[in-house]
């Protein structure tokens, strides 16, 4: 059973940065397609970005320039840093993984991924 563990969420004020972590089992980290998503109640999970097994990072168009996905290969951890937080970034953030090869140049939607973490809540308010 593959387990993904997100952490780093909380209540933050607008304008600040926030870094979320996704701890991944070693073999999953090395070979799987990994991604970050977010979801607000009543809406579908929204893809933020992915890392494929070669280390290539691809971002969804709506977040380009405002998030950074950073892999830590020594810790088998995938980080998501969100810059200049806005109230509309309030959501539950999820890490996802799948053993299918990542698409080359886009972030696949949620149904692509078979493995999910439990999520970490981020609330942005003043």
Q: What is the pLDDT of residues 28-44, one digit of tens each?
A: 999 999 999 999 999 99
Q: What pLDDT is attached to residue 51?
A: 96
Residue 1: the pLDDT is: 81
Rounded Cα distance, 22 and 97, in Å: 11
Give the DSSP letter of residue 24.
-
Cβ atoms of residues 53 and 102 within 8 Å: yes
65 pLDDT above the threshold of 90: no
Q: Hey, is 35 helix, strand or coil? A: strand
Give per-residue pLDDT as tens, 94-124: 999 999 999 988 999 999 999 999 999 999 9
Closest CA to 52 of 101, 117, 96: 101
Tokens 């977010």: give the residue.
Answer: 38
* 64: pLDDT strictly greater than 80: no
């Amino acid at each position: 059973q593959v387990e993904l563990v997100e952490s780093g969420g909380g209540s933050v004020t607008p304008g600040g940065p926030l870094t979320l972590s996704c701890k991944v089992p070693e073999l999953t980290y090395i070979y799987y397609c990994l991604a970050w998503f977010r979801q607000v109640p009543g809406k579908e999970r929204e893809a933020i970005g992915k890392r494929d097994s070669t280390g290539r990072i691809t971002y969804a168009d709506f977040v380009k320039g405002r998030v950074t996905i950073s892999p830590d290969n020594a810790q088998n951890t995938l980080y998501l840093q969100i810059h200049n937080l806005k109230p509309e970034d309030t959501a539950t953030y999820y890490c996802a993984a799948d053993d299918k090869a990542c698409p080359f140049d886009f972030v696949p939607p949620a149904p692509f991924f078979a493995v999910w973490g439990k999520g970490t809540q981020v609330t942005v308010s003043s």
